[in-house]
Amino acid sequence: MAVSPVVAQIISFVVMTILGSLILMLSAKIFKLKDQSFMTALKIVLILYVITLVLGLIGLAALNIALIMSILSFIVVIALGIYLIKKFYKLDWGKAVLVWLVWFILSLIVGFIIGLILLAIGLGIAAV
């Protein structure tokens, strides 16, 4: 039974939002911030993911500028992520950059591990 692409995207969005929020919450704990709540992390991640989605849709609508939109989106999401961390956690710019950097690196590691797991599952299914 195949999952429709829309359902797969919705499931992916929900899972990645929860994972991103948990990882940001872990970053807040690493830096011993006053507010280490899941809800604060969730607010930041939701804002960033919605902005990413909108910028991605703009890039898809104008395929001739998709590469430019991808680069611009990446830069905007980094700047906005640092700003939101600074604002929501009431940090100075330096500490906000460090929290974002730890969050980014942890997200890459978790994403890599999930990718390996999905690859192993895919290879296991293909072998059957």
Spatial separation of the C-alpha atoms in residues 28 and 48, rounded to whole Å: 17
- Give this prediction's pTM: 0.85
110 has pLDDT over 70 = yes
Contact call for residues 27 and 103 (beta carbons, < 8 A): yes
10 has pLDDT over 90 = no
20 has pLDDT over 90 = yes
Annotated domain spans of the chain: 5-127
52 pLDDT tier (thresholds 50, 70, 90): confident
> How far is the CA of 116 from the CAs of 66, 98, 107, 120, in angstroms?
28, 27, 14, 6
Average pLDDT over residues 20-28: 96
Spatial separation of the C-alpha atoms in residues 70 and 100, rounded to whole Å: 20
Three-state helix/strand/coil letters over 26-38: HHHHHCCCCCCCH
